[in-house]
Amino acid sequence: MPIYEYGCKDCRRKTTVFLRSFSVEPKALVCDSCGGSNLVRLISRVAVVKSEAARMEAMADPSSWGGVDENDPKSIAKMMRSMQNQMGEAVDPQMEEAIEKMEQGEIPDEPSYGGGMEDF
């Protein structure tokens, strides 16, 4: 039983329609917002389920990092958010703060890990 999205040409809103059959004519559909029938079918987003190994492999692929500018904090933050979303895990508060600073165009301060190279 398919679920389709339609865009209303009258009010410019999206309507999600659950159809019980493939034989329903689009003319019978109406917009949830304005009640209009001037709808056009949209291409819906799809989700692809991947294993953890497939997600890690995709993140490690250098071609997936094509648009990252290592000199632009906003670009790095965007890549880090993407990685965070793919992992499905929250980052620790210090990393979250650093990403937020980069999203604002700032370069975060160097973290203090206790003990530097001079200790070696």
Q: Where are the domains of the chain?
A: 3-41, 52-103
Express each pLDDT in 4-36 by its tens digit.
Answer: 888 999 999 998 877 676 676 655 788 889 988
Cα–Cα distance measured from residue 91 to residue 12, given in angstroms and rounded to the nearest whole number: 37
Q: What is the pTM of this model?
A: 0.43
The answer on pLDDT for 83 being more than 70 is: yes
Cα–Cα distance measured from residue 42 to residue 55, given in angstroms and rounded to the nearest whole number: 28
Fill in the DSSP letter of residue 115: S
Angle of CA points 49, 51, 54, to nearest 5°: 105
Cα–Cα distance measured from residue 47 to residue 49, given in angstroms and rounded to the nearest whole number: 6
Q: Assign 7 to helix, strand or coil.
A: strand
Cα–Cα distance measured from residue 110 to residue 64, given in angstroms and rounded to the nearest whole number: 27
Express each pLDDT in 56-72 by its tens digit.
Answer: 787 777 776 667 888 88
